[in-house]
Structure 1
Amino acid sequence: MKEIQVNHVHTKEIVVDESMLACKVGSGIVSVYATPMMIAAMEGCAVECLNPFLEEGETSVGVMMNTTHDAATPAGMKVYVTAEITAVDRKKVSFKITAKDEKDTIGIAAHDRFIVNKEKFEAKAQAKLEK
């Protein structure tokens, strides 16, 4: 693991499409950006924010997400997700994440990830099948 920069920021842009609507993913019956899809975009942005600091063979896994979804976004609108590293405690990295559409802040999150060895982590999970 390289030295991780607190306050490092990464932003990604997505366009909400029909496949991301609550009525399509099973999280409601309304035709607006689904909360689970927003959370996935937030987590993905945090992953991308942290990736430059990882060594070969390392990855990160999410362990906590505390999220609000504060405004509805229709299909066709852009969403900008920004993740900022707020703290590092050994292999635990904390983030503040904000999602905004073209009109409003639509969600905020506090998120923690742990840096792990990808091969060992996956082997431990696969070992559950052997019992």
Structure 2
Amino acid sequence: MKEYSKEFVVDYKETAKAVGSGDLEVLATPAMIAMVENTAKEYLHKELAPEESSVGTVVEAKHLRPSKVGARITITVRIESQEKTKINFSFTAVDQDQVVATGTHQRAVILTDVFLNKLSLAKSKDE
């Protein structure tokens, strides 16, 4: 099983109060999800060709415990399966020795130019 870990330090701008997802100065769930996506993206980046990138498509998360500003969060992603261009990860987020979140994340490998061209074509149709 392939896995990759990355450490993050919780900053005030990543708190629920700062991002508007809650009223407290604890790690916001959206910020934790961004950490997961960043870790998976960084792992895949090493495996992709220069013309490829990856985009997040699905996240399912259980945010189990709060983490304060200054906490060191280690995100570990594990590749569970791959279906053509879709890569399925499981993840854990750990604050010291406490699991603070678990879940799954899917990323799709894309050809960057093709993806961006589709986006600009869709935009021009809307105008």
**TM above 0.5, one fold?**
yes
Question: Aligned letter for 1:15?
Answer: V
**Which residue in 2 is equivalent to 1:3?**
none
Find runs of 4+ consecutive structure 1 residues off by over 6 angstroms: none
DSSP 3-state at the match of 1:49: helix
Distance 2:43 2:123 in 1: 32
Distance 2:110 2:123 in 1: 21
Q: Note the residue ranges of structure 2 that are not aligned, 5 or more in a row.
A: none
Say whether residues 1:89 and 2:83 are aligned partners: yes
Say whether residues 1:52 and 2:26 are aligned partners: no
**Which deviations, in whole Å up to 9, do the C-alpha atoms of 1:78-127 show, x marking residues without a partner?**
10000111111111111011101114111012111111100110111121
Figure out how many residues of one structure are paired with residues of the other and give that number.
125
**5 Å matches for 1:1-131?**
7-131=1-125
CA RMSD of aligned residues (A): 0.9
Question: Aligned letter for 2:89?
Answer: F
Overall identity of the aligned pairs, in %: 32
Report how far residue 21 of structure 1 moved. 0.6
DSSP 3-state at the match of 1:53: coil
Scaled by the length of structure 1, what TM-score is found?
0.91
Scaled by the length of structure 2, what TM-score is found?
0.94
Question: Aligned letter for 1:17?
Answer: D
Distance 1:99 1:93 in 2: 19
Of residues 32-41 and 86-95 in structure 1, the stretch that sits farther from structure 2 once superposed is 86-95
